[in-house]
Chains A and B, each alone.
Chain A
Amino acid sequence: MEGASYQRFPKVKIRELKDDYAKFELRETDASMANALRRVMIAEVPTIAIDLVEIEVNSSVLNDEFIAHRLGLIPLTSERAMSMRFSRDCDACDGDGQCEFCSVEFHLRAKCINDQTLDVTSKDLYSSDHTVVPVDFSDTGAGFENNEDQRAIARKGIGKDHAKWSPAATVTFMYEPEIHVNEEMMETLSLEEKTSVVESSPTKVFGINPHTQQVEVVDREAYTYDDEVLKKVEAMGKPGLVEIYAKEDSFIFTVESTGAVKASQLVLNAIEVLKQKLDAVRLSEDTVEADDQFGELGAHMRGG
């Protein structure tokens, strides 16, 4: 194993950053890296979500399990989640998961006093901790002649256990496409043929420059690898007119967050979690179990 190094130095370039949306480029690495990052973002970045609901009174039309399920799905602001403890390995409360280090308590009291339908939303949910509050767009449901009195306990968890703990609404990446238009060959085409090439793509990838009447790549990333243009070009009897490759070492990531953590934080947390996981592998070196558990990967880690 000596000598071979798997170390890479990926580069990240941020394109767009909003609270719940991030778009960035990840370059000079390969699919395994990009996919690991994606998987961690979906399944392993911890957040806080309601996990235990005690229902005192529920006279609404929705049944207890339904309400509890919906309460669980409310995203809660979870900046604290990384530093919180999992209730299963919390020493302060013997694992019953009701202490301040591992849980946050919520109360929901709603009563409908007139004969109209009352909307019960996440705004009716009162938190015992001001840092963990519902993200303000969600809604639990509505009930007629509603009388609800509930205590809910939110705990830290990861998306692998239940989707409610997943901080990511959408995490996806694509290979960056590389599009070459053969200018010389294109010149031989009439304007009509050019338009047909441009229009053969379902997404707006190509355009015709109104001045030079040349086919240009308008939006490279709008390309969805649908091969429609290539098929069209083939059908026109001009293979090689347009050539498209996927750059196998650069990825464009799109991250949308549920609001539990900021999209940027989500990426950073994911890297943090990934690091921790790799550390766990590294630290367990030299043990026989580690080899059993990690097999070749463990050997790689030791070597590289």
Chain B
Amino acid sequence: MSPLGECPLDPGGYFVVKGNEKASVMSSTEMTKSKTIIRMEKEKVYLVLNAFTSKVPIMLVMKAMGMETDQEVVQMLGRDPQYATLLLPSIEDCASIGIYTQLQALEFLEKKDEGALGVLRDIFIPNIRVGGIKSPVRENNFHLKCVYVVVMLRRMMDAILNKDAMDDKDYIGNKRLELSGQLLSLLFEDLFKSMNDQVKFNVDKILSKPSRSSRFDVSQHLLKESITVGLERSLSTGNWDVSRFKMHRKGMTQIVTRLSFIGAFGSMTKISPQFEKSRKVSGPRALQPSQWGMLCPCDTPEGEACGLVKNLALMTHVTTDEEEGPIISLCTCFGVEDLSTLSGEELHSPSSYLIILNGLILGKHRRPERFANVMRKLRRAGKVGDFVSIYVNEKQRCVYIASDGGRVCRPLVIADNGVSRIKDHHMRELKDGVRNFDSFLREGLIEYLDVNEENNALIALYEGEATHETTHVEIEPFTILGACAGLIPFPHHNQSPRNTYQCAMGKQAMGNIAYNQSLRSTVSLNEAMSDGYLDLPFGLSSTAATDDENNRAAGQNATVAVMSYSGYDIEDAIVMNKSSLDRGFGRCIVMKKISAAYQKYDNTSDQFSSPCRSQHDQIQILDNDGLASPGEIIRHQDVYFQKECPIDPKGSMKSHPSQTPYRTSKQTYKGAEGETAVVDRVALCSDKRNNLNVKFMIRHTRRPEVGDKFSSRHGQKGVCGTIVQQEDFPFSERGICPDLIMNPHGFPSRMTVGKMIELLGSKAGVSCGRFHYGSAFGEPSGHADKVEDISETLVKHGFCYNGKDFLYSGITGMPLQAYIFMGPIYYQKLKHMVLDKMHARGMGPRQLITRQPTEGRSRNGGLRVGEMERDCLIAYGTSNLIYERLMISSDPFEVQVCRKCGLLGYINYKSKTRVNFKNISRFLLS
């Protein structure tokens, strides 16, 4: 990858469409596509199916499928009289309308809906093939469907009899994630079919013509690019409109936020729900116990989508579809008895378990535990796919085998009788680089479990805690967190919402994007930002280490003093040291892409234009070809692109190209006034229509200023309140002077103890020259340093154990009244900078129609004195101010009015004359 100019660490997982990087958002589904509902209403059971116009009594369906005797149904349902009692009203109902045979039932159904048999065969639970698993014996053998319906019936009755048997809708094991592959395949199928239809339509039209001049060639009539364009459109807009599958979804893709590596990585793990977010329900938003280790408990947005949009945890794997055939034959080999050989009575006999593969009833097995163990052994040996899950549900007396796509699963260390299979020598080999993760998996030391199979496992958090029954050991506790939350040091000491805030904020931090970040631009974003002066955090979290994130940091270590200073630090504002800023703290580079194009017309095209040097100063940075040259300093209003356009692009057909008159057109740079940027690169390329395109990358190095936003890694953001000279800053007798002062009021209500420990750990790390770690829940395993140990290190290097220092005031030279908690904390610069936001105007542009000031910073708009502001001014009694704002500054307009006729005077632009010029008076409208 690297010789080709690509970053070797780029995780991929996104599409590049029309010059944008788009990541497709995983969506979690709860329901399968075809809905078959068995519902009990007024003690009678009905089947609700979209293909039928109304609900159908279940016994009628059973009879129509060939199960004519009621006894057979009751027998299949189970011997327990409870079930029969529940079904009795339905049986009576069926008998009361006089339907006893299959023929009668079918006739009854046919009367209501035509083709009822076909619906039952092809649409009603279509995953069960009619005729048996192997070769169809008879065309319309509905036995298996009957079994399936009875199992559904029994489940429903279980739920009625015993509320515990209810399925949990929010349970992660009942959800499937839809990945981009599935979405694209649907889209492709639709596009391909519509293309075929279109081609067929066209070809038919041609072939139906009686006489044709040339030989018919189908390849001439294939629609070019219709699939490409369709895919491109869906990916770039994110709208999936597949009417063939009744799919109308929006926001399926999102632009990858390339602000920092982790931010980009984080946007690739995002999962959004399928139903709308407006529902005010707490269930799906709550933290599910089953998401442990699969989905990050911290990383979710605040507000509307809180708890609905989720992110994958670090080690999570999303399965893809696996072939069922081999698994079915394996199951039969291991003693699964085919249903067609069993009687109805045996279906729910307590001595054996149902075997269900991806919702398909395979048969029964007498020794389910043994069967499950054998299957698992095969999986560990690599004979069955790694991600096939085998789950024994004792309550439902079923063994579920799942090989379908979209399940989330995670790796765990296998333990035999509570002894981990990974021994010390394995770890040593891992350190030496002889082994890697895949070899652990291949040799059956580690296996992937999905959420359902986790229910059969007893997982110990640490090896030492394993008992005899333990089947698995966690790899590391911090893997329950996702990529963004994994960056927080000591997250387990923080108040939980703080970690959530940090997850959202980490995506706004500016940092290194990739190794090739200086080369990117041309295909990437409009505005990529990067920090030229980055550090590794002294206080690392292990996730940072596993993610290889160290090379792509997104912040700097700032020595922070937690104290009050100057009053410019209220409401989380921070005070910064000017000398630190001089030396490069918090600098960032903002890249901006501007493009220009040379247009082609019928006969002519735009031309290069050599700037005339004698003109004004604004064109100084242009090269002889009319393009700004790289490395030039560019200011507001500078011309960076100049070309010659034909004055009349259409009329030039007649004249010779050399005689076409041209005019010069210019593009000026609109940046912040008083700021200087640099032309970083100029790229020339041709676009789809073969026009010459020019792309300018403008680089702007920014030094922090008052109002820029900073944040530590604990959800504690703050703007820079003031910048103070170094000599005014407090200092210690060692000569240490903080880079940044944070107000202590940030701590009590936020309860970010992790930040304090980070400070302590970093301080110890700086003094002893070793990175300190702060992985989540890492203290027992040594991946996080304990405060006691940190304190010891501090004392060893002559600091106070509690991290407080004795400081002198830089202003007076007197000692400060209190000991100051001081040490390095990793600070991130967030993308919100005043330079991009500040705005003020006096006179300025107005809207054409209303003549009121324009709106918004980009249009240099005015600031509206709205209702509430007006209320304030009224309350304050500043009547003249209100009068000026509401009357004079906004609406008045001066017109010329004819004294005689009373008409408004105006300038006729065609004749350039004033109409109604005589008897004119000025008039002020307001």
- Stretch among A9-17, A31-39, A117-125 lining the B interface: A31-39
Q: Is the CB of B798 within 8 A of A202?
A: yes
Closest-CB distance, A142 to chain B (whole angstroms): 15
Q: Could you write out 27 A-B pairs with CB less than 8 Å apart?
A: A35-B808, A35-B813, A39-B727, A42-B726, A43-B727, A55-B631, A61-B518, A63-B532, A63-B701, A66-B532, A69-B584, A160-B727, A164-B583, A170-B734, A171-B735, A172-B731, A172-B732, A172-B733, A172-B735, A202-B801, A203-B798, A222-B798, A224-B806, A225-B733, A226-B800, A226-B804, A226-B806
- The answer to whether A162 touches B582 (Cβ under 8 A) is yes
B812 in the interface, Cβ–Cβ < 8 Å?
Answer: yes
Known: A69-B584, A163-B579. A43 touches B815 (CB 8 A): no
Q: A43-B727, A163-B583, A224-B733 are in contact. Are A64 and B631 (CB under 8 A)?
A: yes
Cβ contacts under 8 Å, B812 to chain A: 31-32, 35
Tell me the A66-91 residues at the B interface (CB within 8 Å): 66, 69, 73
**A175 close to B (CB within 8 Å):** yes
Q: Is A174 an interface residue (CB 8 A)?
A: yes
Report yes or no: A202 in contact with B794, Cβ–Cβ below 8 A. Answer: yes
In the complex, which residues of chain A have a beta carbon less than 8 angstroms from the beta carbon of B727?
Answer: 38-39, 42-43, 159-160
Q: A35-B813, A42-B727, A63-B589 are in contact. Are A224 and B680 (CB under 8 A)?
A: no
State whether the Cβ of B799 lies closer than 8 Å to any Cβ in chain A. Answer: yes
Query: Which residues 177-204 of A sit at the B interface, judged by CB distance below 8 A?
Result: 202-203
Inter-chain pairs besides A35-B812, A225-B815, 8 sampled, C-beta below 8 Å: A35-B810, A64-B631, A65-B699, A159-B726, A170-B735, A172-B735, A173-B808, A226-B800
Minimum CB–CB distance for A245 against chain B, Å: 12
| Chain B interface residue bracket vs A | 35 or more
A254 at interface by CB-CB < 8 Å:
yes
B351 within 8 A of A: no
When distances are taken between beta carbons in the complex, the residues of chain A under 8 Å from B795 are: 202
Confirm or deny: A51 has a beta carbon within 8 angstroms of a beta carbon on chain B: no
A165 to chain B, nearest CB (A): 9
Enumerate chain A residues within 8 angstroms of B582, measured Cβ to Cβ. 162-164
A164 to B725, CA, bound (A): 13
Indicate if A25 sits at the interface (CB-CB under 8 A): no
CB distance from B907 to the nearest CB of A (A): 50
Partner of A224, one of B631, B735, B798: B798
B360 within 8 A of A: no
B678 at the interface (CB under 8 A from A): yes
0/1 string, B492-511, CB within 8 A of A gives 1? 00000000000000000000
A interface residues, how many (CB within 8 angstroms):
41
A103 in the interface (beta carbon within 8 A): no
Interface set, chain B 584-638, CB cutoff 8 A to A: 584, 587, 589, 631
Q: Would you call B819 an interface residue if the criterion is a C-beta within 8 Å of the partner chain's C-beta atoms?
A: yes
Q: Give the docked Cα–Cα distance between A283 and B356 (Å).
A: 100
- What are the nearest 8 A-B pairs in CB distance? A35-B813, A170-B735, A163-B582, A174-B733, A163-B579, A31-B813, A172-B735, A225-B806
- Give bound CA distance, A61 to B29, whole Å: 47
Taking a contact as CB atoms under 8 Å apart, the answer to whether A63 and B699 are in contact is yes
A64 to B532, CA, bound (A): 12
B814 on interface, CB distance cutoff 8 Å: yes
Taking the closest CB of chain A, its distance from the CB of B732, in whole angstroms, is 7
**Residues in B whose Cβ lies below 8 Å from that of A61:** 518
How does the 8 Å CB contact mask read for B559-598 relative to A, with 1 for contact and 0 for none? Answer: 0000000000000000000111011100101000000000
Is A58 an interface position by the 8 A CB rule?
A: yes
* Chain A residues in 8 Å Cβ range of B819: 226-227
Q: In the complex the two chains form, is B701's CB within 8 Å of A66's CB?
A: yes
Checking B680, B734, B813 against A38 with a beta-carbon cut-off of 8 angstroms, the contacting residue is: B813
Residues of chain A within 8 A of B794, CB atoms compared: 202
Contact of B814 among A31, A38, A222 (CB under 8 A): A31
Asked if B631 and A254 make an inter-chain contact with CB atoms under 8 angstroms apart, the answer reads: no
A contact face: mostly helix, strand, loop, or mixed = mixed
Q: Which residues on A sit within 8 Å (CB–CB) of B726?
A: 42-43, 159, 163, 166
Digit string of B646-676 for contact with A (CB within 8 Å is 1, else 0)?
Answer: 0000000000000000000000000000000
B578 and A254 form a contact (CB under 8 A) = no
Q: Indicate if the CB atoms of B815 and A65 lie closer than 8 Å.
A: no
Most chain B beta carbons < 10 A, residue from A34, A55, A166: A166
**A-facing mask of B771-809, CB < 8 A → 1, else 0?**
000000000000000000000001100111100111010
A105 at the binding interface (Cβ < 8 Å)? no
Contact B813 A254 (CB under 8 A): no
- Least CB distance from B671 to A in Å reads 15
Identify which of residues 729-748 in chain B touch chain A, using a CB-to-CB cut-off of 8 Å.
731-735
Q: Which residues in A have their C-beta under 8 angstroms from that of B532?
A: 63, 66
Residue A216 interfacial (CB < 8 Å): no
Residues of B contacting A69 in the complex (Cβ-Cβ under 8 angstroms): 584, 587
- From A31, A202, A203, name the one whose CB has the most chain B CB atoms within 10 angstroms: A202
1/0 per residue A223-264: CB within 8 Å of B?
011111000000000000000001000000010100000000
Q: Are the C-beta atoms of B810 and A39 separated by less than 8 Å?
A: yes
Closest to A175 in B: B815
Among B678, B699, B733, B798, find the residue whose CB has the most chain A CB atoms closer than 10 A: B733
Measured between C-beta atoms, what is the minimum distance from B193 to chain A in Å?
51
Q: 8 Å CB contacts to B: which residues of A5-55?
A: 31-32, 34-36, 38-39, 42-43, 55
A224 adjacent to B800 (CB under 8 Å): yes
Q: Report Cα–Cα, A203/B732, bound state, in Å.
A: 15
Tell me, in angstroms, the Cα distance from A39 to B812 when the chains sit together. Answer: 10
Distance of A208 Cα from B733 Cα, bound (Å)? 26
Whether the Cβ atoms of B813 and A32 lie closer than 8 Å is yes
Q: How far is the CA of A61 from the CA of B732 in the complex (A)?
A: 38
Q: How far, in angstroms, from A203 to B583 measured CA to CA in the complex?
A: 31
Which residue of chain B has its CB nearest to the CB of A225?
Answer: B806
Nearest-neighbour CB distance to chain B for A146, whole angstroms, equals 14
Question: How many Å lie between the Cα of A172 and that of B582 in the bound state?
Answer: 20
CB distance from B166 to the nearest CB of A (A): 61
Contacts of B814 in A (CB 8 A): 31
Cβ contacts under 8 Å, B587 to chain A: 69
Q: Within 8 Å CB of A32, what residues of B?
A: 812-813
In the complex, how many angstroms separate the beta carbon of B706 from the nearest chain A beta carbon? 18
Q: Hey, which chain A residues are within 8 Å of B811, CB to CB? A: 35
CA gap between A175 and B795 in the complex, in Å: 22
Q: Report whether B631 and A58 are in contact in the complex, using a CB–CB cutoff of 8 Å.
A: yes
Is the beta-carbon distance between B735 and A256 smaller than 8 angstroms? Answer: yes
A82 to chain B, nearest CB (A): 19
Min C-beta distance of A79 to chain B, whole Å: 23
* Cα A73 to Cα B812 with chains together (Å): 28
User: How many angstroms between the C-alpha atoms of A228 and B800 in the bound complex?
Assistant: 8
* Contact of A159 with B815 in the complex, beta carbons under 8 Å: no
Q: Which residues of B contact A55 (CB under 8 A)?
A: 631
The residue on B at minimum CB distance from A73 is: B583
Among residues of A, the one whose C-beta sits closest to the C-beta of B729 is A42
Taking CB as reference atom, which chain B residue is nearest A68? B701
Q: B795 — nearest CB in chain A belongs to which residue? A: A202
In the complex, chain B residues whose CB is within 8 Å of the CB of A254: 733, 735
Bound form: Cα–Cα A38–B814 in Å? 12
Q: Which residues of chain B are within 8 angstroms of A34 by Cβ–Cβ distance?
A: 813
Q: How far is the CB of B395 from chain A (nearest CB, A)?
A: 60
The residue on A at minimum CB distance from B700 is A65
Cβ contacts under 8 Å, B680 to chain A = 63
- Tell me which residues from 479 to 498 in chain B have a Cβ below 8 Å from any Cβ of chain A: none
Q: Which of B734, B813, B819 has the most CB of A within 10 A?
A: B813
Give chain B residues whose Cβ lies under 8 Å from the Cβ of A222: 798
Least CB distance from B441 to A in Å reads 38
How many Å lie between the Cα of A66 and that of B584 in the bound state?
9
Chain B residues whose CB sits within 8 angstroms of the CB of A224 once the complex forms: 733, 798, 800, 805-806
- Closest Cβ of chain B to A254, distance in Å, is 6
CB < 8 Å neighbour of B578 from A163, A203, A225, A227:
A163
In the assembled complex, how far is the CB of residue A51 from the closest CB belonging to chain B, in whole angstroms? Answer: 13
Closest to A204 in B: B798
When C-beta atoms are compared, the residue in chain B nearest to A56 turns out to be B631
Contacts of B798 in A (CB 8 A): 202-203, 222, 224
What's the Cα separation between A61 and B811 when bound, in Å?
A: 42
